[in-house]
Structure formats: C-alpha cells, structure tokens
Chain A
Amino acid sequence: MVIRKKYSFPGYIYIMPWLIGFLVLQLVPLVRSFWYSFTDFQLLGDPKFVGLDNYRKIFSGDLSFLKSLQVTAAYVLIAVPCKIAFALAIAVILNQKIKGINLFRTLYYIPSILGGSVSIAVLWKYLFMNQGVLNNLLTSIGLPGADWLGDPNLALGTVSLVTIWQFGSSMLLFLAGLKQIPESLYEAARIDGAGKMRIFWKITLPQLSSIVLFNLIMQMINAFQDFTPAFVITQGGPLKSTYLYGLMLYDHGFKFFRMGYASALSWILFAIILFFTGLTFKSSDSWVHYGDSL
C-alpha cells in the first residue's frame, strides 16, 4: 500500500465520528461489563468483587459451557461457509444480463427482510415438524420423513437453514463487488481464450476477495453470537442440540441472575472471536487483493 505521510492528519478527521462515538458511547459499557466479569453481579444489587472466580468456575468443568461451545462451533462451521458460498453463487448468476433481474434480486432478498419476524418460528415448525410440509413431500415421493427439528442429530442443521436462507445481505454485497470489477479485465481474459470457470477463479474471485473477506469476518462474528433462530424455533432443544452460546449467555444473565458469570462467559467468547478474526485477517494477506495495491 502506498503511504503518504502528509495525509495523516485528515485521517483522524475522517474517523472522528467513530472515535468520539467509541470513547463517549461504547467504551463505558464495555469497561463496565469487563468489570462485571470479575464480580458476583445479580443484576439488582451491587456487583461484589470475586476476582477470577467466574473464570475459574467456567474452566473447571461447566458442562453447559462446553456443550454450547461445541454447538456453536458446529453452527459456525455449517452456517457461515454455506451462506457465503450460496450468496456468491447466486450473485454470480444474477450478475449475468438476465431479464427481470430487479425482481429476482428483490425476491432473493425477501428472506433477509423477514429476518427475525414472529412468523418465522411458526413457519419453520410448519415446514419441518413430524407431519409438516417437508415430510409430506418426502413421503409422497416414497422417501422416509424425519423429525427435522425434534431429532437431536438433525435440529442444528435445520435451524442453520434459517440462517443460510437469509443470504440476501451477503449476496447483495457480492453483487455490488461484482459491479466494481473493471470490464477490461474480463475482455483481456477472453482474448487469452480463458473459459468461464477459469475466468471465475482467475479474475472474479480474486477481484471479489475483499468482499469475501468482509462477508467471512462479519458472518463469523455474527454466527458466534447468534441465538435468534434457535431461540425462536427450538429454544435450545432437543437435548440442547441447538443450545448456542448466545442462548446460554441469555439464560445465565437474565434467567438465573448471574450477570457476573455471563460477563465472564462473554469475554471468553470475545477472545475466541477475536482470535479467529485475527487469524482470518492474517491469512487474508495471501488471498485478498485490493484495488489500492494493484
């Protein structure tokens, strides 16, 4: 990257809104919650300092911590890559000159608009329950049905489908990124006689890599903390198979009045997310190409 020293002052001016926002709005709650993680804080009284007790308890065999960490890891591994791959594939298809592209784009974005709508919980049960739409469809073509939401081995996958189904935002970003790729690159490749797949791997994907990185990081950060789909559809069940970390935090913080403990759990998750984000950024040096470093 080209560095120009004389620009260093404007840099601060441009990031000033966030810098003020961080110092004034975000820092205080963050520091307070960090402090809570070393206390016994039952929400309604004052926090009592307990040192590292919360952390010690978590690491000395809190089973729900281990279970939910496991569930969350699986969720992140299923939902994030599938969502990104799906979004990318659709974006590439939609980037062709296709009639009704505006309509398709809108239709594909609708699940993301529905978001955490109250109807989703009802709908997902209707689709995936024992006598639901999917099983009906399967039995009508002679296939066996399953308890998509009731079987502890299947529920997490079914719940992840909600997340993947809401791929619209990632898709949109890929589409925006595709629009930024200079046509001249494609022309040059075609003159060289490159096939479609080769063009995708050699030009589209590298040119899109900054957006891939963005989607990867953001989806990861979100997925680690996500609990809405499990909360509204399965409430963590069956047999805790969808008991995401975020659900466990909620239980400790607001159901069991252990906000100090929940804070410690949160800072552990923070460290985990920070680690994986850092790792992704580190690796990105070798696969992300920026326009400003061409």
Chain B
Amino acid sequence: MKKNLMLFLIVLVTMGTMFAGGGKESSKDSGSKTLRVSWWGSDSRHTPTLNAMAAYQRENPNVRLEGEYGGWDGYYQKLVTQIAGRTAADIIQIDQPWLNELSARGDVFVVLDRTMIDLDEFDVDFLNDYCTYNGKLLGLPTGINVNTFLVDVTLLADNGIDPDTVWTWENIITEGRKIHQNDPAAYFSSASPDIMRYWFEIYIAQLAGAVVNSNKQVAFTEEQGTQAFAYFKQWFDEGIVAPFSQTSLFYQKFHENPSWINGKTATAWDWVSSMDKAIGNKKNIETRQLPVMEGAKNTGVLMRPSQIMVVNNSSVHKDEAIKVLDYLFTNHEAIEILGTARGIPATVSGRRILAEKNQITALAEKATNDGIAQAGLPQSSWQMNSEVIQTMQDVIDEFGFGRLTPQQASAKMIANLTATLTNL
C-alpha cells in the first residue's frame, strides 16, 4: 500500500516535471503556423469562438489556432503583463477603453487598413470614433453596445405609473417617487455607486457637452456641476434610489442586489451587452430610452464597441492574424457560428445574416436601435481614462454618502479632476 503510494507520487512528480518542461514545444515545422487567440467571456462566447476557429482551420490546414480563454477576473492584468513581457497572443480581444490606455504607451497593436480587411462593412464613424488612436485604425469592433434603460413594467403599473412613460429627468422624480412612497423597501432605480457615476456623466454631457473634453480639460462649470448634484440629491431625498450604504456593496454588480432580483427596484441603467444578465429569468422587463433634457448639447447616451479585436504588433504571423480577423468579421459561416457571442455585429452583413436567422432577440434589437437613435457624442479618451474615472467615482461616493453638499461636490469634482488631468 505504502509502496504503491510512493510509486504513484514518483510518477506524478516526474510527469509534473516533464509536463512542466513542455512549455516550449510549439510546432516549428515549416509551413505550419500556430496563432494564439485570447479572449474573456462565458461559455456562450467560448464555444462559438472555438467553433469559428475550427472552421477557419478546416479552410486553412496549415494554420493552427489556439484559444486562450477564461473569465473576466484578471484578464486585463494578465494582458498587461503579457504585453510588457512581449508574450501576448497574436489576436487579442480588448475592452474599448483599453485601446487608448495601451496605445498611449507604445505601438502595441498592428495598424489595419483597407488593403487587409473589407472595411466597407463597418460604419466609418464608428471605426473612427472608437477603434483608432492618433488617426490610425488599430482594431475592429466585435459588436455594437449602447446604453439602455430597463424598466419593470409590472412594478411600475402596480404603483400607478404608466409603463409606457417617456422618461424625462422631471418625471423620474414626480412619478418615480410613488414607488418608495408606496413601499419603503422599494425604489424607482437601481443605483450602485458606479451607476450613479454613469448617470452623472449623462446629465453633465447634456448640460455641458462632456465631463472632460478632448483638450484634457474639465468641460463643465461649477454651476453646472452644482445643478447636476442638486438634481441627484433629490434622487436620494425622494427615495428614487436606495442609499449608498445599501447599494455600495453591489458596485459593478447591481443585478446581484436582491432588491432588483425580487422586483423591488423598477428601473436600471445598463449596457445592452450585459442586460441579459440583469434580466435573468424576469419576464416583465422592457427597454426604454434614457431621459434627455431640452436643448441638450449632447445626449450623453453612450454607444461603443462591445469589445475590440486587435492584432499584436509583436506577433510573428501578423498577416495570417489579420486574415483570421477578416474571416471572423466578414465570412458568412463565421458570422453565423459566432452569432451574438460578442453582441450585435457592427457589420452590415453581420446584422443582416443574424436577423435572417433570427439570432437576435427582439428585446436586444429594440434596445440597440433605440440606443443608436439616441446615442450622443463619443467620450473623450481623457474622460475614459481609468484614473479620471476613479477621481469622479470618489467624489460621487462622498456625495452619495451625504458627506458633500451639491456645491461642495461640484467644486471638489472640478478641483480633483483638474489635479488628476495635470498629473496624466
């Protein structure tokens, strides 16, 4: 018994050491190329992507595509580490804000152009606004993602609110407060601190155009800031949203709040790409347009690529990688296989093919179309900078916890943003 155990252990150790040493055995025989493709997602993305890659390999037997896929946790940090160590995959899925953050620090992605990929399929403005850095196209959008406003029609109706209401900043308060009045445990809108930041950005965009403009300057005045914070103070005072002490632990996860799950919260700001997660099993959720004030400079409603696919500049098979990219975005078979694994396609034919095959749900289609119709100007890369976002969030937190009056919050926001921006 003891001997067997020892033998087993010895086998494991040797196997472990051998297996461990096998890290470098990539196929180096002439003609065949191995390309690594990395992405994050859930099963609904992994499987179709692997299938599409398999289809490509059938058509190109000399190419081997290896998927490096996993969850969201740590993906960005691993990517940054890999780029620093020049070991990143050949084809990489990135989040849109990373394009600027990473490109600002080096030529990490291959510049794409018309000779390589059929760009007519894409909306030119969409490419220019979101996939370029310094005027160079660095990646392709995997899909269109827009802001939407989820509403629980049952809960609204139960509280005597017309579910078909067109929402304005005013009626959110006048109508929305009924819910909390009727049931002290219920609220009109979900509002973890991160979502309050989005609301603030939208409101300021409508008042002043942007929070931070492309000249690296705070774009709103102290009065405008005060006006915005004074407005959102009513949200807390009137019970439109729950206090931060109850929602702050659902930072970036408002859909895990039992108040939302159990139908005690009537509405939620969300991205179309993640709304399925928020809706879950609920049957009574519809989407509406977000409120826009009269004479708004910019609706502030965000539209951006679900993700962006880029080619690693230190790849040894750049040409093949671009071919793979082109295939994934324009080949009909690939489009069908991928479906909506990365949102509603950003290509004309992609949308057409999926619509024909009924692969896009009516809810997603409506939300996307509503969003596109409402979409405002793209945010400046400065406003999307992670340090700027953190600066905004910190002030929003203090305000939300009642530590700052609207005037103080506005002044502090401007001062802190200015300091952060000069430091960048």
Contacts and interface: CB of A to CB of B under 8 A. Distances in A.
Interface residues of B, number: 32
B12 interface: no
Interface string A90-131: 000000000000000000000000000000001001000111
Contacts of A255: 386-387, 390
B395 to A, nearest CB: 11
A257 B259 CA distance: 37
| From B243, B252, B401, residue with most partner A Cβ within 10 Å | B401
B249 interface: yes
B249 A149 contact: yes
Contact of A239 (B84, B101, B386, B401): B401
Contacts of B108: 44
Interface in B68-111: 76-77, 80, 83-84, 101-102, 105-106, 108
Nearest to A124: B249
B390 A251 contact: yes
Interface in A131-165: 131, 147, 149-152
Interface residues of A, number: 26
A43 interface: yes
A125 B258 CA distance: 10
A257 B101 contact: yes
Contact of B77 (A151, A152, A239, A254): A254
A18 to B, nearest CB: 20
Nearest to B398: A239
Nearest to B74: A254
B394 interface: yes
A129 B258 contact: yes
Contact of A240 (B80, B101, B252, B394): B394
A10 B182 CA distance: 80
Contact of B248 (A43, A122, A131, A237): A237
B251 interface: yes
Contacts of B252: 235
A44 B401 contact: no
B268 to A, nearest CB: 18
Given A150-B245, A254-B77, A256-B386, A238 B401 contact: yes
A44 B84 contact: yes
A48 to B, nearest CB: 12
Contact of A125 (B105, B243, B256): B256
A240 B393 CA distance: 11
B65 to A, nearest CB: 26
A130 B257 CA distance: 10
Interface string B274-300: 000000000000000000000000000
B234 interface: no
A235 B251 contact: yes
Interface string A168-190: 00000000000000000000000
A43 B245 CA distance: 36
Interface string A25-66: 000000000000000001111000000000000000000000
A233 interface: yes
B245 A151 contact: yes
B193 interface: yes
A235 B397 CA distance: 13
A110 B195 CA distance: 36
Given A239-B403, A240-B394, A254-B77, A42 B105 contact: yes
A68 interface: no
Contacts of A43: 80, 83-84, 105
B418 interface: no
B390 A45 contact: no
A128 to B, nearest CB: 8
A234 interface: yes
B345 to A, nearest CB: 30
Contact of B246 (A42, A150, A152, A234): A150
A233 B397 CA distance: 17
Given A44-B106, A152-B401, A237-B193, A125 B84 contact: no
Contacts of B246: 129-130, 147, 150
| From A44, A131, A147, A151, residue with most partner B Cβ within 10 Å | A44
A43 B79 CA distance: 11
A225 to B, nearest CB: 17
A42 B401 CA distance: 34
Contacts of B397: 237-240
Nearest to B102: A44
B187 interface: no
Interface in A250-269: 251, 254-257
B203 interface: no
Nearest to B71: A118
Contact of B245 (A44, A235, A238, A254): A238
Nearest to A254: B77
Contacts of B226: none
A251 B76 CA distance: 12
Interface in A217-260: 233-235, 237-240, 251, 254-257
B39 interface: no
B244 interface: yes
B79 to A, nearest CB: 10
B247 interface: yes
Given A42-B105, A45-B106, A239-B401, A234 B249 contact: yes
22 contacts: A43-B80, A44-B80, A44-B102, A44-B106, A44-B108, A125-B256, A129-B246, A129-B258, A130-B245, A131-B258, A131-B259, A149-B248, A150-B245, A234-B248, A235-B251, A235-B252, A238-B401, A239-B397, A239-B398, A240-B397, A254-B77, A255-B390
Interface of A: 42-45, 122, 125, 129-131, 147, 149-152, 233-235, 237-240, 251, 254-257
Given A43-B80, A150-B249, A238-B401, 20 more contacts: A43-B84, A43-B105, A45-B105, A125-B250, A125-B256, A130-B245, A149-B248, A150-B243, A150-B244, A151-B245, A233-B249, A234-B249, A235-B251, A237-B193, A237-B251, A238-B248, A239-B398, A255-B387, A256-B387, A257-B101
Interface of B: 76-77, 80, 83-84, 101-102, 105-106, 108, 193, 243-252, 256, 258-259, 386-387, 390, 394, 397-398, 401, 403
Those 4 A-B pairs whose CB atoms lie nearest each other, nearest first: A150-B245, A44-B105, A147-B245, A238-B248
